[in-house]
Amino acid sequence: DTAVSQTPKYLVTQMGNDKSIKCEQNLGHDTMYWYKQDSKKFLKIMFSYNNKELIINETVPNRFSPKSPDKAHLNLHINSLELGDSAVYFCASSQPGQGAHNEQFFGPGTRLTVL
């Protein structure tokens, strides 16, 4: 069973297009995340939702809009794609509880290439 899944795995598109990446987790977690990993492998958090509520919104262009239809899904929509958006995007989920940090489970990643 895949714990955190993302679709598509690869996405190649032209500059200026709009695209979406979908994420689903079957772990029953309340919290989901989107990370961006650049070509130098640097991992940076973009957004986090807890029970469909946005709790982390880092300095990300407003062309990026996350949507959480329910707590098992967190999708990422990107408008007007730019060359600098090329990266691997990871979805993750966790179940923090009562002041204790817990493991974040990552999906396999979506490699976005903007031409």
Q: Which residues bind another protein (CB under 8 A)?
A: 4, 31, 33, 40-45, 48, 50, 55-56, 90, 92, 94, 96, 99-104, 106-109
Radius of gyration of the chain measured on its C-alpha atoms = 14
Nearer to another protein, 44 or 63 (CB): 44
CB of 101 to another protein, least distance (A): 4
- Nearest distance from C-beta of residue 111 to another protein, angstroms: 9
> Are the C-beta atoms of residues 17 and 29 closer than 8 Å to each other?
no
Q: For residues 65 and 109, which CB has a smaller minimum distance to another protein in the complex?
A: 109
**Which residue in the block uniquely carries the two structure tokens 């990871």?**
90
> In this complex, which beta carbon is closest to another protein, that of residue 17 or of residue 57?
57
Rounded to the nearest 10 degrees, how much is the dihedral formed by the CA atoms of 115, 91, 35, 46? 100
CB of 19 to another protein, least distance (A): 20
* Residue 41: how many other CB atoms lie within 10 Å: 7
In the complex, least distance from residue 91 CB atom to another protein, rounded to whole angstroms:
8
User: Are the C-beta atoms of residues 74 and 34 closer than 8 Å to each other?
Assistant: yes
Bond prior to 8 in cis (omega within 30° of 0): yes
Between 14 and 99, whose beta carbon lies closer to another protein?
A: 99
